[in-house]
Structures are given as C-alpha cells and as structure tokens.
Chain A
Amino acid sequence: MTEKTTAGLVADIFGTMEARVIPDGVDGITANYGYIITGPNGGKWTVCVADGRVKVMEDLVKPDVTTTCAEDDWIAITLGKLDGMTAFSSGKLKVTGDMGLLVAAAGFFEKYQPQPAEVTVADIFATMESRVNPDGVKGITANCGYRITGEGGGEWTVCVAYGKVKVLEGIANPDVTTTCADDDWIAITLGKLDGITAFSSGKLKVEGNLDILSTAARFFKKYCPPSAGPEEAPEELIALKQVLSIPQTFATGPVMGHFLNALKEKKILANQCPECQRLQIPPREVCAECVVRCKEFVQIGPEGIISTPDVAYYASPDPLTGETRETPYCSCHFLLDGCKGHETMWHELKASDIPRAERGVRVRPVWNDTLTGSVTDIKYFEIIDD
C-alpha cells in the first residue's frame, strides 16, 4: 500500500476500538494488550480490558501480552485481508507475554470499516485471495504475471492451482504476463474499461498463453472499492446457457466422393474445366465461371510448394469436436505440382515447420495411418528438407 492510503489508518483502527466493543466478547476478561506497530504511521497502544469495558491508551502501559507488527500487515489483518494466524506463523506478527490472551481478543470488536480511501492497484491484488471464485479457478493451473506500470504500479504473480489462488509480489514463472498502466488496470477492475477493448487498443499487453487469460476473468468475485462501503446488490439477470449439438450426415455426391476415395490410395485429384482448363481442388461438379460440367480428373502433386501461409494465433474451436485448437497452427494454401496460379489446395502445415513457412518452399503431404476418405487422411503438409 502506498503511504497516502495508510496515513492515519493505524491510528484510526485503535481510535475506533472503544466504539466497536462487543460486550459479550470482552465479558469476564481483565488484561492489558500492548501493540507495537512499526512503520512511519505506526505507534504504540495499549488496549485495557476490564469489567466488560475497553479503554485504549497511547504507549505501552503494563501489558500482559505485547504484539509487534508492521503497519501494512496490521492493516491487512484488521481488514481481514491477512489471516492473523498466517501472519504469526510467517513471523510478520510477533508476540511476547501471555499468548493465550490473544485468542480471546479476536472476539472483542466489531469489524473495522475503513474511511473511504482511493482504489489502489496494491489493494486490488491484496484482496484477490479473499475474492476467489471457486468455480472460476476449478481445474486451472497457471501463473499469471502482472506488470502494472505507473506510480501506483508494481509486479505481481497470481498463481492458480488445485482450486486455490496465491498472489505473490514480483513476476514468478508466468505462463502469461499482462502489462498495463495503473490507471487502466484500476478502470478495468472497476468495470469502467472493457478488458477486450483495452487489449485490442494495446493499453493492455499480453505475452504468453492467451487462453489462460480468457479464463482469468472468472477467477475472482467483483472487487469492492474501499470507498464504496457495503455494495448495493446488482440486478440479477438470468441467462440460459446451452450447447446445441446436432449429429449430421453429409453425402459426398459422386464428384467429391471420387476425390475423397482417391485419398485412400494416397492420390490427390483435381478436376478440369473443359472450357477454361482450370483445375479445381477439391473438385466440384461444374466450373462456376464457365457454367459447364467438369468430368475430367487429373492427378496432381502430391508434392508442391507453399503458396500462402496463414499462421493462426487465435484459438478457435474445432467444429467437429468442439475442442479448442492448439495455437499457433498454420492454415496454408499449397500449389501442388501440376497446378498453377490460383489452383491451390487448402490444408495445414506441420506446426513445427511454421518458423520456416514461406512462399515457394517445397512441401509434401504426411498421410495418416488409417485412410478413411476424408480431409484428415492427410495429417498435414511438411517442408521437404534438401
């Protein structure tokens, strides 16, 4: 947290204690609790509990137990963002004296409501662990790095695994890293700036696995800015979610059937227009330009050259399986031997050949072990090494 937001906060926590006393919580307890809060806005306080009443005094006054803690941690504990036990175990919170007294202290006060404060990037990340949406992180294992630039920025890594989320400071082994200015990040978190819009316009930059990021929107429950107080529940809007799934059967017809059957023998056929002589791959009943029936088949390829490679980084679903394709993949037009001009055949290039995908490079088809007469009989084309 920046100094601006914590100034006066520690004093306010102690200052409001007397007003926040829970009578049942302090009933029957007589003890002095000392606190040493370190840091520029820290100080020393003693909380005196006796006869069902609480008095808070500055400085240490005959404490039975003394707690020492950094101001940021103390604020986080008070706001419920840091578990007291965790802080104790990790050495952030040190205790001297009668430790048993502290157990009861958890029930002394009503929850502290901080005065309205500005939204900070640090607070957004600090509250993430308490805002985890269990459904959203289910089955996801990923480290998402965030590099937030600007005065209020910093670096964090959100680690998701086994349905749990841990937020670390600094960038640690990220699968995907998001870079964004502090103001934009706050605007996105508060819903004032659309994430996709920010992404498209380059305000939000992403390196690494984009797929993970698309799931990240559901990791957390909505961030409530500290100044907002108890939030008004938004109007619930009902959405019906379904998957339409229809089994289909396609008839090849004689022309496409002839072409597909030839694939079973590892032959690639084109048919030729008797008027303009152009080759069609895959073949079609007629030449749409000349409006004549094309009956002549010629064997082409199977080797050829890359005509136009199209490397897809955007993971779209495979319509036959509904599963998201691995990226990048290369959808490619190949000019097979015996063809010219626009007489290209559309298929995929082997993923590992993508870095060498250039026009004119020689390729050959790689056939599947089982040939069924379908587009997948050719696994992909691969570059022929000299």
Chain B
Amino acid sequence: MKKNRNVGVIGVGQSVFSSHREEVNQPEMIHEAVLEALDQAGMTMDDIDCVLHGNMELFEMVHQPDLWHTLGTGAFGKETLRVTTGGTTGATLVCAADALVASGLHDVVMAIGFEKLQEGHTTGGITNMADPLWTRKLQTGALTGMTATQLMDEFGEERAKRASMLYRITMDKHAMNNNKAHRRLGLEFDQAEDLAINSPPLVGELRMIHMCSQSDGTCVMIFASEKKARQHCKQPAWIKDHITVHREENFAIFGDAPVTTTHRYAAEKLFERNNIMDPRKEIDMMEMYDPSSWWGLDWLREFLLLEGDEHLEMVENGEIALDGAFPVNPSGGVIASNPIGATAMVRVAEAAMQIMGTAGDHQVPKQVNTALASGFGGTMWTVLTLLTRDLPGL
C-alpha cells in the first residue's frame, strides 16, 4: 500500500457492550464512547477535523442516523461521511479514516461504529440482504451449521467438536478479563463435554454456546497524522497496511460454496506485500471477527495460511490463549460482544490497544510489535488491517 504519510491510532473509546441499553438513546450511547476516546487521546472536539459514522443499514430501522446522531457524535459543523458495508462496516471505517489522514485531507479523524441490536430485528435484517428472488426465502440469517459439518467431516466428529468448544471456552476466559465485554459466562474447560451436548442447537451442530451475541454498543477510534499523533500520544498504534477483498455478488456465503477463499486471498496478498513469510512468528497477536467458534476455528487456518490440522493444534495446545504463543482475541472476540456495526472496528481497536499497551486486564504479557485484525461481513467480504508498534516506512 502506497501512503502519502503515516497514520496512527491515538485514542480508543468503547461503551459497555450489553444486550439492553434502554436507558440511553442511540446518540447518547455513542456519546459515551466519543468522550472516552477524546479523553484517551487528550483531545477535545475542536481537535477533530472529520467524523466518520457507520452501522448496519437495516438493523435499527432508522434512516440517516449520521445526521441526527450529531448530538452525540460531536460532528456539528465538521465534515462527516457515513460508511455502511455490512459486517465489515467497522473495518471499512478504519480504512476510510486511514485514507483521509494518509492522503493529507485531514489531520485528525474520528471514526464511530455503533449498533443497538436490541432495537431492531437482526436476523430479519440479514435475511433482507439476500437476493430477493431466490435466497431470501431460503436463508436463515447469519446462522449455519455447514462449517461444523465440514470440520467434522475433515477431522472427525469428536476432535472437531472438542476443538470448537476449547476455542469457545478460551474466548470466554479472555472475556472474563475484559470488563467491557457483553457475555462473560465464567466457563471452565471441564464443562466442554457437557456444553457440547446440552447447549441448545441452532442449526446443525451450531449450538447457542458457539454463536456470537447480539449486543448494543459503540466503538470510537481517533486517527492522526504522524505529527499530530506524536504530539498527543506516547505510543500510537501505526496503521501499516489494510486490504479489502470482496467475492461474488450472490448471497450464497452460508452455502456450499468455498466461502473462505476471501480470507486466505486477503491474507496472502497482505503478507506478500509486507514481506511476512511466517505470519505465526512475525505477527504477535490477532483480533479476529469470529461470529461463531466453528468459524473462528476454521478461519485461523485461512488467516494464518496454515495447512492440515495446524489450526486445531493451535487451539488444542493453548497457543491462542492470552499468554500463549499467538494470542487470538484477548478481548473475548465477537462471540463475547457483537454490536455489529462496531464489531469489526473493535477488532482493530483492540489490536491497537495491545500495541499501545492500554488493554488493561486483557493486555497480553509479551510486547506486541505487530498485530493483525480481521473484519468479515456481507456477501463474503474480508478486511484485514495490519498495525505496528514501530513507525512503518513509507
């Protein structure tokens, strides 16, 4: 990626993620995270040049929220853009903010991803994204058991089920350290067998325990040019590169198509142009958009370009744990908290926090020099963002 100038993340704000926030309206919930991000960056709204705003289109059933949310976003009198690219919205907001600062159009950009899923009908909204002439009638929202079926076919039912539950419990253990996380269940590894049988099935072998939550919440990030970033932040998280990959237009991602090709394709391209030969060694941690523990497990292989059962081993030997060799989702991931329009941004924000050293109780013990964040959504879109502790060369 060719950049005019470097861009650093200097502030992150997150509202508490929860299944119900009746006590605040949409702009008020956004405002909580805006104040936290400004505070962390040591800035006021006067320092912000441009405000980006994004969420899912059909989830709250209100239109042009970017305009009337001004009350909470602080975008009064500032340049504002709205981004809505499905599940990847949060990651696309980061790409847009990076582009606006890197290009020199703005010095400081604030990006806001939010969702209040309690207010709408998530599955209904997703269903309406499908091709109305064919798949809308057939699809089941974002739920599928096909990945589970495929993994069980490939690795045997027992091993696949166990690995997926290990992944799930590891994520919950991470979420227990993150006081902003929505679902913190306090699971123990010895519950794995019981949960695999007793958690209610949703679709096929996808059970309720495997699936991500529906959350209300906001994530806010502040991006600054190198000069501004250095003025306001001791250790910014620098945006080294990002890549967006789309696949075909047909809404068949939950079907029998080879769905994960965009993940592997994006990873291959990104690593190639950043000279990353061995991602597991050269990247220190990852925040993955993992909508279910089956997908999380399966996608490790795609993002890290693994072969055979290496991804299962990573889970089985604890490599993905907070203190493991390659921590995945120290925040607890999407299974723990999923305010969809914010979710992909939370991945980048949490990866940035690991580099900035501001992750608090869920800070990984080793120094994070390079972090990877993934976004996923829509009709099979992938966005990958690479962040570094050292200033990238231009």
Contacts and interface: CB of A to CB of B under 8 A. Distances in A.
A308 B146 contact: yes
Given A199-B200, A331-B140, A346 B183 contact: no
Contacts of B131: 282
Contact of B140 (A289, A307, A312, A344): A312
Contacts of B156: none
A200 B258 contact: no
A196 interface: yes
A202 B257 contact: no
Contact of B255 (A201, A210, A320, A344): A344
A314 interface: yes
Given A244-B61, A256-B133, A320-B137, A310 B257 contact: no
B15 interface: no
Interface in B19-46: 19, 22-23
For chain A, what secondary structure do more than half of its interface residues adopt (helix, strand, loop), or is it mixed?
mixed
Interface string B139-157: 1110111100110000000
Interface stretch (B96-104, B187-195, B363-371): B187-195
Interface in B225-263: 247-250, 252, 254-258
Interface in A161-198: 194, 196-197
B179 interface: no
B185 A317 contact: no
Nearest to A289: B248
B209 A202 contact: yes
Contact of B22 (A239, A310, A319): A239
Interface string A323-367: 000000001010000000010101110000000000000000000
Nearest to B118: A239
B392 interface: no
A201 B209 contact: yes
B247 A313 contact: no
B294 to A, nearest CB: 12
For chain B, what secondary structure do more than half of its interface residues adopt (helix, strand, loop), or is it mixed?
loop
Contacts of B141: 316
Interface in B148-204: 149-150, 183, 185-187, 191, 194-195, 198-204
Q: How large is the interface on B (under 10, 10 to 19, 20 to 34, 35 or more residues)?
A: 35 or more
Contacts of B209: 200-202
B377 to A, nearest CB: 18
Contact of A205 (B144, B198, B258): B198
A284 B255 CA distance: 17
B80 interface: no
Contacts of A375: 133-134, 137-138
A316 B125 CA distance: 11
B127 A319 contact: yes
Contacts of A256: 133-134
A19 interface: no
Nearest to B148: A310
B203 A312 contact: yes
A113 interface: no
A248 interface: yes
Contacts of B305: none
Given A239-B22, A313-B203, A346 B135 contact: yes
A310 B124 contact: no
A380 B186 CA distance: 43
Given A194-B19, A314-B202, A320 B145 contact: no
Contacts of B61: 242, 244
B136 A320 contact: yes
Interface residues of A, number: 47
B142 to A, nearest CB: 10
A314 B143 contact: yes
Interface core residue of B183, B208, B209 (most chain A CB under 10 Å):
B208
B360 interface: no
B78 interface: no
B69 to A, nearest CB: 17
Interface in A287-321: 288-289, 307-314, 316-320
B137 A376 contact: yes
A270 interface: no
A237 interface: yes
A342 B145 contact: no
B140 A200 contact: no
Interface in A276-291: 282, 284, 288-289
A201 B213 CA distance: 12
A260 interface: yes
A90 interface: no
A182 B198 CA distance: 18
Given A316-B141, A317-B123, A348-B138, A200 B204 contact: no
Nearest to A373: B133
Nearest to A335: B256
A343 to B, nearest CB: 9
B128 interface: yes
- Which 7 pairs from chain A and chain B are nearest by CB? A333-B256, A288-B248, A201-B185, A314-B202, A344-B256, A319-B127, A237-B22
Interface of B: 19, 22-23, 61, 121, 123-124, 127-128, 131-141, 143-146, 149-150, 183, 185-187, 191, 194-195, 198-204, 208-209, 211, 213, 247-250, 252, 254-258
Given A331-B140, A333-B146, A342-B256, 10 more contacts: A200-B209, A201-B187, A205-B200, A248-B132, A288-B248, A309-B149, A313-B203, A319-B128, A319-B136, A346-B256
14 contacts: A200-B199, A205-B198, A242-B61, A310-B204, A311-B204, A314-B140, A316-B123, A317-B121, A319-B136, A333-B146, A342-B257, A374-B133, A375-B133, A375-B134
